[in-house]
Structure 1
Amino acid sequence: MNQKEKELFFELCRYRDQNPQKLRNLIKKGAATPAVLGHLFYNRMGGIAFGVLKENGLLGETNREFRNTLESRYVLNREKNESYFRCLKLLTRVLKGCEGKYALLKGAYLCKAYPEGFRTSNDIDILTTAENIGVISQRLKDAGFRQGSVQNGCFLPASRQEIIRSRLMRGETVPFIKEVNLPFLRYLEIDINFSLSYKNEKSDTVREFLSRSRRVNLEKLRICTLEPCDFLLHLCGHLYKEAAVYPWVQMKRDMTLYKYCDLYTMLQDITEKEYAVLEKRASTLGLEEGCYYALYCTKVLFSLQSDALSAFLTRIAPENREILKTVIDPEAKKKYRYLEDNLFKRFFQNDRLSLLEEVFPDEKAGII
């Protein structure tokens, strides 16, 4: 992609602070190319891009295939969300009586935080403590869910070894899957998280999150989720876990933009007073590192101009900024660092593994 294509890609994703004139100029200069379209789909931003073009009256300025393809994604997102929220309703029935023992995360709440058709989700994430995994798992099994994966449209059950390995190395269970045969959602996948990082750590922070969980209304549906400050901190921690862990870089799922867009969406409405509350909460729970990493990267990628956010990041910044370049392979017990500091260059690099160098034991001092 050339520079104009890269600029247009990000402008089409910035739906909360649009620049109509810049969009128009980039489109007139021929930046609305198949390469941009591919990146929008790869990063799950197609629905947002369609909305941005429509709101600014620019659909007619683009090639027919470009705009029609984005519109198809937008329409699909809306229809898929109808199926997704039917599944959410099913899950709340399955877990009735377990309130306080779990909270629904990410897409379960965020799909309604965006304008309709802008975001969808392929799964439902649950946060619970390690001691409550058994209760939640049994409810799901009784409802017809099985642990495994979907490959080539078919369900493949997980082995006992895979189930144990996931809990030990990833802080989450192997997905629970059920065939629901809904439009654009044949299988429903449930991910149970019991850790905030790649480590199989103690559940103290998770327990603290759940102690302040709340029930919220999403139109006709009522779900259990986290208190807003904790929801944001969890989102930061989850992004950090995926962006800075080697297997996710290997799968090329470490910098998918929709994850950063979730934070971009939430950051738009935060006041200085709320940043102060967030700072205190992050400090109390020891979550400053993940919070800094996720919000700093979001600020850069979305070119956020916020004095309050900049001041907040300055206050919580770690002494060692190497965390912005460090990638960990917990299974191999290895550490790597990026040779490229520029986040935009990393983002558009097809093979980010090629940008990593291993940090050997005598070099590890000072790297978190």
Structure 2
Amino acid sequence: MQLTLENKLILQIAQFRHYDRENLKGNSEGLLDWTEILGDLMYNRLGGIAYKVLMDSMPIALNHEIEFLLFQIYEIQKLRTTNNLKVLYDLSDALEQAEIQYAFLKGSILANSIYPIGCRVSKDIDLLVNAKDLTKVGKVLESLGYVQGFYNKESNKIDPASRQEIIYRRLNMGEVVPYQKLVDMPALKVTEVDVNFSLDWVAQGTEGAVKKFLSEPYYYETGNGRTLRSLPPEYFLAYLCVHLYKEAVVINWVEWQRDLLLYKFLDLYAFITDPKINLNWDKFIDLCTQNGIQMECYYALEHAKTFFPILCKDNGLDYALLSIRPDSVDYLHEVIDTVDRNKKYKWDSNIVERFFNMKRVNELSGLQVK
């Protein structure tokens, strides 16, 4: 498969810290299928970044209809992120007052500290806590008006979860039923807090690792004199890697067409290349080795290099990848069956080619497509 100009433009836009302005402008001025480009941008949550990058590289030449649409997305994401940050501050203050160890994960940190505002949006608030603090955390959330349950669009209310579902999620999924709250703020109708008491690689048996992770809090600047508490950069990066891996290599996610969302690889690029982040690669290597997540982290970072070639110039990253590289890397192009995890399907195309093929499930060797 040969990449089209539309494909190349998507990949260039994603390199928001390192794009070639003249090259980007040249590829954007030809006759392009903007409906295809916009579809890829929206599905991969790149609308806000696209507006920033394209307006910087070609503010006059950009089609006015395209500019107007991307501008709206960018402004809405900015508004949502700004309002969500207020919610995060309230929750952070309450958890600190209750003397609970915690860490905000993924989008809460990325949208407010790593990306330019409006370029990353967070759907919910991921919170990591010790299992022993779950009851205390629940009381804090309830005091802030949260209900453990699910938002009902028809009634515009939060329906409380049953006791049975609360117990099932805790025992089998390493998380609790989410806490939700109607906030009715512009671009933010409902706030959802997903409370996790285990790490992303298994639902049980990581209590010691969670305790260690939370005992080393790291505070990320949010640009207004305040900070948000999370994990040290090495831990944060590992968490992103494992989360990406879990969704990229399971057949269900391939069938749902959600296995290769570009923003997940973009998060790795954005985090690693952020000048404010000083990664200790030896610490990262030790973390991967001690927790047995070399395969997961190698998968995520090796593929991230394919999407973001600038990462190939990072000597620290190369050193880390060499140190955690598994004996066999065949798994980089395999998918695991949901029921029988010993059953695997093979990809014949490279990851960039299959990323642009939304029907890629049909290309898996050995899979009987219904």
Question: With structure 2 as the length reference, what TM-score do the two structures score?
Answer: 0.86
Within a 5 Å distance, the mapping from 1:186-205 to structure 2 comes to 186-197=189-200, 199-202=202-205, 203-205=207-209
The residue type paired with residue 256 of structure 2 is: M
Which residue pairs with 2:214 in the alignment?
210
Relative to structure 1, the CA distance from residue 100 to residue 320 in structure 2 (aligned partners, 3 Å threshold; closer, same or farther) is farther
Relative to structure 1, the CA distance from residue 149 to residue 249 in structure 2 (aligned partners, 3 Å threshold; closer, same or farther) is farther
SS at match of 2:127: strand
1:172-193 superposed Cα distances (whole Å, 9 cap, x missing partner): 2222111011110010011112
Which residue pairs with 2:188 in the alignment?
185
Please give the alpha-carbon distance, in whole angstroms, between the structure 2 residues aligned to 1:276 and 1:76: 40
Within a 5 Å distance, the mapping from 1:282-293 to structure 2 comes to 282-293=288-299
Please give the alpha-carbon distance, in whole angstroms, between the structure 1 residues aligned to 2:338 and 2:174: 12
Please give the alpha-carbon distance, in whole angstroms, between the structure 2 residues aligned to 1:144 and 1:103: 20
1:190-243 superposed Cα distances (whole Å, 9 cap, x missing partner): 111223335323122222211112344432434321112111111212222222
Structure 2: gaps spanning 5 or more residues: none
Please give the alpha-carbon distance, in whole angstroms, between the structure 1 residues aligned to 2:170 and 2:363: 29
Does 142-151 or 265-274 show the bigger shift?
265-274
Does structure 1 residue 241 correspond to structure 2 residue 241?
A: no
Does structure 1 residue 354 correspond to structure 2 residue 358?
A: no
Give how far 1:84 is off.
Answer: 0.7
Does structure 1 residue 279 correspond to structure 2 residue 271?
A: no
Please give the alpha-carbon distance, in whole angstroms, between the structure 1 residues aligned to 2:204 and 2:365: 27
Does structure 1 residue 340 correspond to structure 2 residue 348?
A: yes
SS at match of 2:32: coil
Give how far 1:269 is off.
Answer: 4.8
Within a 5 Å distance, the mapping from 1:288-307 to structure 2 comes to 288-304=294-310, 305-307=312-314
Give how far 1:348 is off.
Answer: 1.8
Please give the alpha-carbon distance, in whole angstroms, between the structure 2 residues aligned to 1:338 and 1:36: 28
Which residue pairs with 1:315 in the alignment?
323
Which residue pairs with 1:365 in the alignment?
none
Please give the alpha-carbon distance, in whole angstroms, between the structure 1 residues aligned to 2:90 and 2:298: 36
Please give the alpha-carbon distance, in whole angstroms, between the structure 2 residues aligned to 1:342 and 1:217: 37
1:45-100 superposed Cα distances (whole Å, 9 cap, x missing partner): 111111111222x1322221111111111111111112111111221233233445
Which residue pairs with 1:20 in the alignment?
21
Does structure 1 residue 268 correspond to structure 2 residue 268?
A: no
Please give the alpha-carbon distance, in whole angstroms, between the structure 1 residues aligned to 2:243 and 2:209: 13
Which residue pairs with 2:263 in the alignment?
258
Instruction: Number of aligned residue pairs: give it.
Output: 358
Please give the alpha-carbon distance, in whole angstroms, between the structure 2 residues aligned to 1:161 and 1:357: 40
Give how far 1:303 is off.
Answer: 2.6
The residue type paired with residue 281 of structure 1 is: L
Structure 1: gaps spanning 5 or more residues: 360-368
Which residue pairs with 2:102 in the alignment?
102
Question: With structure 1 as the length reference, what TM-score do the two structures score?
Answer: 0.87
Please give the alpha-carbon distance, in whole angstroms, between the structure 2 residues aligned to 1:259 and 1:290: 14
Identity of aligned residues (%): 34
The residue type paired with residue 170 of structure 1 is: M
Relative to structure 1, the CA distance from residue 160 to residue 343 in structure 2 (aligned partners, 3 Å threshold; closer, same or farther) is farther
Please give the alpha-carbon distance, in whole angstroms, between the structure 1 residues aligned to 2:278 and 2:229: 27
Asked whether the equivalents of residues 108 and 125 of structure 1 are also in contact (C-alpha less than 8 Å), the reply is yes
